[in-house]
Amino acid sequence: MMVDAPKINQGLEGIYFTESGICKVDGINGRLYYYGYSIETLAENSNFEEVCYLLLNGKLPKKSELSAFRKNLASERELPEEVIMMIKRASKKANAMDILRSAVSMLSFFDEDSGDNSEAANMRKSVRLISQIASVTAATGRAKAGKAYVEPDPKMNHVENFLYMLNGAKPEPDHVKILDTMFLLHAEHSSNASTFSGIVTASTLSDMHSAITSAIGTLKGPLHGGADEAALHMMNAIGKPENTVHYIVDALAGKKRIMGFGHRVYKTYDPRARIIKGRLEEMQNSADKEVRNLTNIALQAEKLMINKLGKSHGIWPNVDFFSGPVYTDLGIEDYLFTPIFAASRIPGWAAHIMEYLKGNRLIRPLEYYDGAIGKKYVPIKER
């Protein structure tokens, strides 16, 4: 008896696998909410540390709670010497995301809560990893530049300390502000590929470090976290603003993917991209020639893509498209873009993992087999 093939949702598109109160992505109207707070409100009024508390605890902190949380984050920034040595040795050849993935695995060796999967232990590990992943990313940037590791400064806030550890000098307040906004915008985004990957690992009752390692491996791909680096490479390939139209038209004619455009969920302008675009426009007067050049290319490409495809095909810039010029203005090398994404997204990953574990069920989807049945085995001598 033949059985009708089931409907296959490629890429699990349109499939709901759980309920969550953490994040709402309204792809039709281009809206994003963390625990009910719009991303515009948070970007205007909040900061990354406060958003970390919000995502992990489900509420905005009181002044005393935020102060204690900041001190906790600051106390967890230092890396074990063994991890620092691994970063230094690997940095000569390894991809920065591979270094980060390996470092998170190593950090589990030194975490006293490593084998404890209780909610309290997972919260402690989440806070540690928020601090440590930022430190690993900064240390990787230093090592790849042939510079010495910089010890963290507990007196600085999270993003300020990251830039200090990366550059070895106290950062400019405006640099801290814009990078804090970038961290905040990337902190959470519902059940994206890397978050889902982390949840799948956690659903087996593995540990927090393993789940985050899975998420990092997933984020590495250019269709996810690596898109901002790919978008910047495209802008560099364009070279000059006056080349933008020709490049985009030729790429579209050749059916090449324009990195930084389109999104699985958003059918209109990504609200995070709109906020970053506003920061880019603010930077135009103060940025150097290279960044102004990149920004002009980005703005021209955006206008062209929307006019040609956006309104009819739903092709709009996403958060990755405008990120490259911002990071370039801050003096950040492109190989650190995706690790910075991970350093930003860790509170969202951890929040979803802890939320899912409260009602955990092993994630085990089905696949429909369409191959042959009952093949005759032929001995190797007769093949």
Tell me which amino acid residue 74 is. Answer: A
* Identified catalytic residue from 116, 224, 233, 334: 224
State CA 217 to chain mean position distance.
11
Classify residue 223 by its DSSP letter: T
Tell me which amino acid residue 287 is. Answer: A
Tell me which amino acid residue 155 is. Answer: K
User: Shortest CA distance to 272 belongs to which of 198, 341, 173?
Assistant: 341
Q: What does 127-182 look like in DSSP terms, one character per residue? A: HHHHHHHHHHHHHHHHHHTT-------TTS-HHHHHHHHHHSSPPPHHHHHHHHHH
Q: What is the pLDDT of residue 1?
A: 46
Contact 228, 323 (CB under 8 A): yes
Integer Cα distance of 290 and 112 in angstroms: 46
Q: Is the alpha carbon torsion for 100, 353, 108, 113 positive or negative? A: positive
How confident is the model over 19-61, as pLDDT tens digits?
999 999 998 899 999 999 999 999 999 999 999 999 999 999 9
Residue 320: active-site member = yes
Residue 313: active-site member = no
Q: What is the pLDDT of residue 61?
A: 98
Contact 351, 215 (CB under 8 A): no
How confident is the model over 81-130, as pLDDT tens digits?
999 999 999 999 999 999 999 999 999 999 999 999 999 999 999 999 99
User: Phi first, then psi: what are they for 50, rounded to 5°?
Assistant: -65, -40
Q: What is the pLDDT of residue 303?
A: 84
Q: What is the pLDDT of residue 283?
A: 74
Q: Which residues of the chain have pLDDT under 70?
A: 1-3, 308-314
Tokens 């709402």: give the residue: 24
Which residues, in sequence order, are bridge partners of residue 38?
A: 33
* Identified catalytic residue from 263, 270, 329, 352: 263
Q: Is the alpha carbon torsion for 139, 142, 145, 147 positive or negative? A: negative
Q: What are 280's two structure tokens?
A: 């880019």
Contact 282, 275 (CB under 8 A): no
Q: What is the pLDDT of residue 2?
A: 53
State CA 241 to chain mean position distance.
28
* Identified catalytic residue from 113, 228, 270, 320: 320
Integer Cα distance of 81 and 73 in angstroms: 19
Integer Cα distance of 94 and 88 in angstroms: 10
Q: What is the pLDDT of residue 313?
A: 57
User: Phi first, then psi: what are they for 294, rounded to 5°?
Assistant: -60, -45
Express as a percent the part of the chain with pLDDT over 70: 97
Q: What is the pLDDT of residue 218?
A: 97
Tokens 């802008």: give the residue: 235
Q: What is the pLDDT of residue 314?
A: 55
Q: Is the alpha carbon torsion for 178, 179, 183, 189 positive or negative? A: positive
Residue 263: active-site member = yes
Integer Cα distance of 149 and 84 in angstroms: 8
Integer Cα distance of 365 and 268 in angstroms: 30
Residue 344 CB partners (closer than 8 Å, separation 6+) = 48, 182, 183, 184, 185, 186, 187
Contact 49, 69 (CB under 8 A): yes
Q: What are 234's two structure tokens?
A: 């495209």
Q: What is the pLDDT of residue 288?
A: 81
What is residue 225's three-state secondary structure? coil
Domains in the chain, CATH or no CATH each = 23-223+336-357 (1.10.580.10), 227-329 (1.10.230.10)
Q: What is the pLDDT of residue 193?
A: 95
Q: What is the pLDDT of residue 21?
A: 97
Q: What is the pLDDT of residue 298?
A: 87
